[in-house]
Structure 1
Amino acid sequence: MGDVILVTGGTGLVGKAIEYVINNEPEGSRFGRKPGEKWIFASSKEGDLRDPEQTKALFEKYKPTHVIHLAALVGGLFKNMKYKLTFLRENVLINDNILHTSYLSNTKKLISCLSTCVFPDKVEYPLNELNIHNGPPHESNFGYAHAKRLVDVQNHAYNEEFGCNFTSAIPTNVFGPHDNFDLEDAHVIPALIHKCYNAKKNGTPFVVAGTGKPLRQFIYSHDLAKLFIWQLREYDSVEPVILSVGENEEVSIKQVADAIVKAVGFQGEYSFDTSRADGQFRKPASNEKLLKLMGGFEFTPFDKALDDTVAWFVANYNSARIGKPKA
């Protein structure tokens, strides 16, 4: 019998990207499917992971040997600020159920997906894997951040007490096909793509909030998928790994917006609303540990990844996650 890999949150942005890579890389290659291997991409419809019995039933149904845990209650800044307890409690329940059921099921390996929001608010840059717990996270999403931090604590505890091979990944800002493009709740790239698409369709100006000066590290979902597959196959430490492009790959929000305007083919009025807040100027993360372990990795150039994402959004507009249209 080959391995069975269960991906929770399997129909989201990163789950879909892993499915794409597994189905498109050559079998037996570094990022491809191994012969006899079975991959299960589970959606929230298959079971409520906040419920221990439903989580157990999911594991009994598929009998996974390995788990990539992507499922989480997520939201934009506004939701994180408004529902701190909900984000803390529901994510703690989901994570605890997945980790404990993985332990009870003798899962060979579990990788959980964290977020750069786990890092302390006051921290030296670049972010690295050693300073996760060196101070409280940012006030705006401390519920979600603490729930994710706790996964790292639990990984170490399961490893020490039971010898479990549990670890975690910390991606920077992810984007790509199958993202959440809901204007009320999307992250910066999918929100700007949707906004620019609407501006082109309606013949209205494309206005970007803020000055466009802040810098961010963005990772294309298909690249991140390969890094998760690498971590599953080749990384066996309990310590988390930052999965990211290098600090030298930071791009400004203006560069992002310029690239979107070009990719969408928008020719109307385009400006920045400098009365709107910019947020943090930059929060670079180091991928030194990742590259040292992997021996290098070729990331998709940002403009190419953005072109592919815009092309996917335009082609799949009617089925994409775009939120409810305003009445």
Structure 2
Amino acid sequence: MKIWSPTELSSQETDFNYSDTREQMDGSVGPMRVLVTGGSGLVGRAIERVVKKEGEEREGEEWIFLSSKEANLMSAEETRAAFEKHRPTHVIHLAAMVGGLFRNMRQNLDFWRNNVFINDNVLQAAHEFGVVKVVSCLSTCIFPDKTTYPIDETMIHNGPPHESNFGYAFAKRMIDVQNRAYFQQYGLRYTAVIPTNVFGPHDNFNIEDGHVLPGLIHKTYLAKSETHVTFWEDLEPHLSSVHMVNLFHVFVCIIEEGKPLQVWGSGRALRQFIYSLDLARLFLWVLREYDEVEPIILSVGEEDELTVKDAVDAVVEAFGFEGEVIYDTSKSDGQIKKTANNAKLRKYLPDFKFTPFKQAVKETCDWFAANYDTARK
């Protein structure tokens, strides 16, 4: 099977007219019914907030946020039933089996099979039900492990991905293959975005199986909480005998005895982080304006790449954690870097403003603390 290069793809002759077919499939150039798969996840909830609460919903748009409780997209039958029920004209495809580094290392086969099932079912149902446009969500882990930096959209298929999560990476990479095939065979402009490390409210904050930043947020929250518990439990016996002038000294001593924050890896790995609300706003632009089959990287610039240690420092600052931070170098760093070039995005949106990293981390930490009992963890 040939995989079209971006140049070949754009030059392919076809009788397909995108604008005419959009009008034909919609019945008019009017209402747009958008189905968001994975609608209850990190990015889905961010899109819902931007659309519903920040006033980005346009006249004539109807938004449907589909959760896994409503349809198991690994089932072709349930996927078709969901499309039959909602009859979308457009789809934002976010649904996926996801997990952090160590879960991926343990379950590469599961990540491959489940994501291939989900992606094939969604894209084929979209085709069968006449969906005009699908925007799927990929990941920078799809890029080759051995490559030159920065990576860009033309380099996806230049070699195998990092071995730690090859199952997930290849499954996500195949969406690009399917999009190109749907265009070649049917003229459909299904496309995909490639965000870097996404974080924000409604993330999965599971320490064992979550991604790096939400896992750090949960660990730091617990370390901070354990320190406070230690403080009050150890302080109580002193209350009758310690004068107020010595109270601060007791506090400092007990803080120093609190449990340290343990971080897996050396902290040297480099990552580009994108706030989920920024990504949501960019998704709306891609859905409404971006007209290429070739995917587009959605990321902050190379100059905003951070080490994991930088991320740890931001989380520690956001929570006001004053305990010790220990890096467990016996744990893997994963891919040491995957620097992405956002030049294509900047060509289209040169003035887009990303939320400053520390501000986004602070907002996420505040949300997690306020919603600890119900947050995914």
Scaled to the shorter chain, the TM-score interval is: over 0.9
Pair 1:138–1:277, CA change in 2 (3 A): closer
Cross-structure match for 2:23: none
Cross-structure match for 1:302: 357
Cross-structure match for 2:194: 170
- Indicate which of 58, 69, 81 corresponds to 1:34: 58
Cross-structure match for 2:275: 220
Distance in 2, matches of 1:312 and 1:301, equals 17
Q: Deviations over 1:220-241 (max 9, x none)?
A: 0000001111100110110000
Q: Deviations over 1:215-259 (max 9, x none)?
A: 210000000001111100110110000010000001121221111
- Indicate which of 282, 304, 307 corresponds to 2:337: 282
Cross-structure match for 1:29: none
- Deviation for aligned residue 1:36: 2.4
Matches within 5 A, 1:105-184: 105-184=129-208
Pair 1:272–1:90, CA change in 2 (3 A): closer
Matches within 5 A, 1:15-94: 15-26=44-55, 32-94=56-118
**Structure 2 residue 287 is matched with structure 1 residue 232:** yes
The TM-score normalised by the length of structure 1 is: 0.94
Distance in 2, matches of 1:206 and 1:139, equals 28
- Indicate which of 290, 306, 310 corresponds to 1:255: 310
Larger radius of gyration: 2
Q: Which amino acid aligns with 2:193?
A: A
Distance in 2, matches of 1:271 and 1:78, equals 19
Pair 1:293–1:132, CA change in 2 (3 A): same
The TM-score normalised by the length of structure 2 is: 0.82
Q: Deviations over 1:41-60 (max 9, x none)?
A: 11001111111111111011
Cross-structure match for 2:239: none
| Count of paired positions | 317
Cross-structure match for 1:325: none
Pair 1:268–1:275, CA change in 2 (3 A): same
- Deviation for aligned residue 1:275: 4.4
- Deviation for aligned residue 1:154: 0.7
- Deviation for aligned residue 1:206: 1.3
Q: Deviations over 1:103-160 (max 9, x none)?
A: 1111110011111111111111101000100111112211111111111011011011
- Deviation for aligned residue 1:276: 3.8
Cross-structure match for 1:6: 35
Deviates more, 1:179-188 or 1:275-284: 275-284
Distance in 2, matches of 1:17 and 1:149, equals 24
Q: Deviations over 1:171-212 (max 9, x none)?
A: 100000000001111111111111111111112211222332
Cross-structure match for 1:320: 375
3-state DSSP class of the match of 2:297? strand
C-alpha RMSD of matched pairs (Å): 1.3
Distance in 1, matches of 2:330 and 2:110, equals 31
- Deviation for aligned residue 1:270: 2.6
Extract unaligned runs of 5+ from structure 2. Answer: 1-29, 228-258
Q: Which amino acid aligns with 1:5?
A: V
3-state DSSP class of the match of 1:45? coil
Distance in 2, matches of 1:254 and 1:278, equals 12
Structure 1 segments of 4+ aligned residues over 6 angstroms from their partners: none
Extract unaligned runs of 5+ from structure 1. Answer: 27-31, 323-327
**Structure 2 residue 299 is matched with structure 1 residue 244:** yes
Distance in 2, matches of 1:269 and 1:20, equals 36
Pair 1:275–1:99, CA change in 2 (3 A): closer
Pair 1:310–1:157, CA change in 2 (3 A): same
3-state DSSP class of the match of 2:44? helix
- Deviation for aligned residue 1:79: 2.3
Cross-structure match for 2:253: none
